[in-house]
Structure 1
């Protein structure tokens, strides 16, 4: 077994789960939270030898306690909110007075918690709780996983695969789409990067030709970055022939898949969503705040629109200026 290959797969899937919770949790937080509780129940039992049970499956919405192991006397709270206030709020719940000999652990579903582990917390019922080792996030879990024996790593891989995804793809793990986003994310997208290298009249013609009403504002706002994106594509192509072409081809394929789902505005926004999801699921994507990711994706899709890769072109369409 290739340890690095399977560890990389586990790392990828845990990060994908965290990103999905962060970007979609507001839409259906309860369902995602309950699924995550059950996932981490089995995951921690496998990883640390616990005998956790989901307390919420017997008693709905128990304050402060999501998972409990009576044998090893462990209480775990699973949360998408990772703050000092959230942890202290859990530790202050009166129900913990019944579990004074238990240790308390906190699992952050999506946020990195290195700074949180350095803090001190009010612990009125004196549960065993050491923030440095009892607050878990993806990074701390991966540090524990990487030290496992090969047979243990294989068992963790099999569990992750059954719960979160398909067989590890040995041929291709990375995506050029994520790579170019990594490049774009380093830029400051302000007035200094705007240019008049596109023909705004022609772009307006294409917008009207495709009946894009709600999306017009997005296109107008980001089409001015065409020249900067072109420079970044040139930079990206230094890493290999046709890399920028493959990115534009990927965006076009997503457009072709969804272009008949509804009106033009829905199609445009769906392309943006599909491109974002592909990037989030790419293991080579370097994590950035979701609003920054969405900005870069908007710029990339608008650029594809300008370059004739998505939507229909009016007759004699010419997006480049002649000046």
Structure 2
């Protein structure tokens, strides 16, 4: 597994953990929260080279403080609640009198905390606390992981795989890719829905330009559905801004990660396979026969090829005619 795959795995697992915390019932949230404390204890020790321990393991339910690093003089609160009121309530606790020379840090385990970093907080005990640098959330943590060397990302990957790999795989994230596949699976696909405006000469130029020999058959077979896909994307965008763009960009991302690694035909079929894997891992995929899923993905990837999202375009490439 290369560095980018380590990061993608870490990113997916942290998103899933946050999703699980947000949707868990009240009866189970306490156990999940305690698990999150211990998870972030070891995770932050690896990521930031800290020496955190769980204060609650020796003193049950210590108010305001969950994790502590005596050597680096840091105290952390791990919380599924992420509000200004929550942090100010924490900072007001008398226990902070014991830690005057420590720095307070807050970890939001399920909610984006971007807005909180620009706020001013009441801090009656004047403990060191800089909201811009001392409030962590999923986005900020991932930004810290991304530039790390492969060795560090590998250690984080192995830790997360051991902690969350099996148990949390039952929770899947929704994807716009799966949503559009659900929509397309209800369509009838036959050669009577061709598009008169599609410029077959230009598509042939792009096939030749990219030296696609084995992929030619699948492109020629499914390019006729461009108009139908265009209609579905238009309907899809009524559900929210950039819905169709997110699908096309997801396909493009798969292409960009392998564009220089294989011969052109293999790249094309690998994109199809990788997109299929993404769709099958989505939590919102309907119960659809695998051959129908594969048909819809073939059509989507060919459409992305026509729309200039994958592979290089020949000079002055125009895939639809005017008029």
TM-score normalised by the chain length of structure 1: 0.55
CA distance in 2, matches of 1:21, 1:7: 21
Write out the 4+ residue segments of structure 1 that deviate beyond 4 Å after TM superposition.
174-178, 238-241
SS of 2:32's equivalent in the other structure is helix
> What is the aligned residue count?
201
The alignment status of 1:26 with 2:32, answered yes or no, reads no
The alignment status of 1:252 with 2:250, answered yes or no, reads no
Aligned to 1:96: 96
Say if 1:76 and 1:105, in contact at 8 Å, map to a contact too.
yes
The residue correspondences of 1:227-242 to structure 2 (distance < 5 A) are 232=236
CA distance in 1, matches of 2:98, 2:135: 22
CA distance in 2, matches of 1:47, 1:151: 11
Give, in angstroms, the shift of residue 27 of structure 1.
3.8
CA distance in 1, matches of 2:140, 2:161: 20
CA distance in 2, matches of 1:252, 1:154: 35
TM-score normalised by the chain length of structure 2: 0.55
CA distance in 1, matches of 2:181, 2:108: 28
CA change 1:25–1:140 in 2 (3 A) is farther
The alignment status of 1:111 with 2:111, answered yes or no, reads yes
The residue correspondences of 1:1-323 to structure 2 (distance < 5 A) are 1-165=1-165, 178-181=176-179, 232=236, 251-252=286-287
Give, in angstroms, the shift of residue 253 of structure 1.
7.1
Say if 2:179 and 2:285, in contact at 8 Å, map to a contact too.
no
Say if 1:77 and 1:107, in contact at 8 Å, map to a contact too.
yes
Give, in angstroms, the shift of residue 179 of structure 1.
1.7
Say if 1:25 and 1:32, in contact at 8 Å, map to a contact too.
no
CA change 1:32–1:25 in 2 (3 A) is farther
Aligned to 2:219: none
Give, in angstroms, the shift of residue 26 of structure 1.
2.7
CA distance in 2, matches of 1:60, 1:118: 33
Say if 2:16 and 2:173, in contact at 8 Å, map to a contact too.
no
CA distance in 1, matches of 2:148, 2:83: 30
Give, in angstroms, the shift of residue 178 of structure 1.
4.7
Deviations 1:245-288 (A, max 9, x none): 989x953379xxxxxxxxxxxxxxxxxxxxxxxxxxxxxxxxxx
Give, in angstroms, the shift of residue 49 of structure 1.
1.0
Say if 1:145 and 1:153, in contact at 8 Å, map to a contact too.
yes
CA change 1:175–1:68 in 2 (3 A) is closer
CA distance in 1, matches of 2:27, 2:145: 31
Say if 1:80 and 1:110, in contact at 8 Å, map to a contact too.
yes
CA change 1:147–1:177 in 2 (3 A) is closer
CA distance in 2, matches of 1:7, 1:46: 15
Say if 1:106 and 1:135, in contact at 8 Å, map to a contact too.
yes
CA distance in 2, matches of 1:124, 1:50: 27
CA distance in 1, matches of 2:133, 2:286: 43
SS of 2:121's equivalent in the other structure is coil
Aligned to 2:256: none
Q: What runs of 5+ residues in structure 1 fail to find an aligned partner?
A: 185-227, 255-323
Give, in angstroms, the shift of residue 180 of structure 1.
3.9
Q: What runs of 5+ residues in structure 2 fail to find an aligned partner?
A: 183-231, 237-242, 252-271, 290-323
Aligned to 2:196: none
